[in-house]
């Protein structure tokens, strides 16, 4: 098994992320009425804050807050409404948890305000394709920046899911996203990459990209993988609702870790923390990370 490289990712409000010795768990808080996996569950501010506090208590290393559903076919959300949803949650969590907070947005204005209220990581599902100015926000605030691979917007992404070599093409397109980020002033040390399972990828492409995750190691940046409850799991599990895909998620999380992921993004934090601990021990040959 290939050794997982170690990285130190600086953060603006907290100690740097130390990546490599063990896998970090990113818990998902969707402050939306229409998320594919848990729409409406955390739509109220106090419920969202309480859920984030519980995730941190359950072992999440990062809490990721998002206010816009980016599932395939979703409509864009105006920035002012997105800020209305997420900023009170970010601010409330920053006062109550010690782990870093990530803001899941592709909008520069939302990211800037979220970092000002305590977020340390900007998680951009577009890889700077939608708003390149987001890179300047990361550079100016010192926030870490997750660049996820996708093609097109939500309503057209499946039309663009055409690949000859999915792992190689994803790696090449993420390499361009890294270059774009660096051109806006983002320090290379602040960048994390995400292959974007399920985004502009049909099920076979997501499995191919996951199996070829070592191709992303060529980029020399830490890798985040988010397989949680996504529709590509139906190819193996059948037509189950998202909440019934956690065992499939567990398999994909374990595979991600064994193939080199540094961070996994999940909904069910307590169960996936167990999966991560076992997979990390397998990676290390039984030595405690």
Q: Is 230 a catalytic residue?
A: yes
Residue 174 to residue 143: CA distance in whole angstroms: 19
* C-alpha torsion sign, points 158, 209, 99, 132: negative
Is 54:29 a contact under the CB 8 Å cutoff? no
Residue 48 to residue 38: CA distance in whole angstroms: 12
Residue 191 to residue 223: CA distance in whole angstroms: 9
∠ Cα 149 154 158 (to 5°): 75
Residue 96 to residue 79: CA distance in whole angstroms: 25
Annotated catalytic residue: which of 265, 277, 283, 287?
265
Annotated catalytic residue: which of 85, 107, 117, 230?
230
Residue 83 to residue 78: CA distance in whole angstroms: 9
DSSP E strands: which ranges in the chain?
Answer: 7-9, 17-19, 24-30, 62-66, 101-104, 121-124, 144-148, 191-194, 224-225, 263-266
Contacts of 256 (CB under 8 A, 6+ apart): 210, 213, 225, 227, 264
Contacts of 269 (CB under 8 A, 6+ apart): 25, 27, 55, 58, 59, 60
Q: Is 277 a catalytic residue?
A: no
Known catalytic residues are 230, 265
């Amino acid at each position: 098994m290939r050794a997982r490289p170690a990285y130190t990712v600086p953060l603006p409000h907290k100690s740097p992320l130390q990546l490599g010795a063990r896998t970090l768990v990113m818990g998902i808080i969707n402050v939306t009425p229409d998320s594919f996996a848990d729409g409406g569950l955390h739509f109220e501010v106090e419920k969202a804050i309480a859920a984030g506090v519980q995730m941190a208590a359950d072992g999440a290393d990062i809490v990721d807050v998002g206010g816009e559903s980016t599932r395939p076919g979703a409509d864009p959300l105006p920035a002012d409404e997105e800020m209305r949803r997420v900023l009170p949650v970010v601010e409330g969590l920053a006062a109550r948890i010690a782990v870093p907070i990530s803001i899941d947005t592709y909008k520069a204005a939302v990211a800037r305000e979220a970092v000002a209220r305590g977020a340390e990581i900007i998680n951009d599902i577009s890889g700077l394709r939608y708003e390149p100015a987001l890179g300047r926000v990361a550079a100016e605030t010192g926030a870490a920046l997750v660049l996820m691979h996708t093609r097109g917007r939500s309503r057209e992404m499946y039309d663009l899911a055409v690949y000859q070599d999915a792992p190689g093409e994803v790696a090449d397109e993420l390499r361009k996203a890294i270059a774009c980020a660096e051109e806006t002033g983002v320090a290379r040390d602040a960048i994390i990459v995400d292959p974007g399972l399920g985004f502009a990828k049909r099920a076979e492409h997501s499995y191919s990209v996951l199996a070829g995750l070592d191709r992303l190691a060529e980029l020399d940046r830490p890798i985040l993988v988010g397989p949680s409850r996504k529709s590509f799991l139906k190819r193996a599990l059948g037509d189950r609702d998202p909440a019934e895909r956690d065992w499939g998620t567990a398999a994909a999380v374990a595979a991600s870790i064994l193939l080199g992921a540094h961070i996994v993004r999940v909904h069910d934090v307590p169960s996936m923390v167990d999966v991560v601990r076992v997979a990390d021990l397998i990676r290390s040959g039984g030595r405690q990370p």
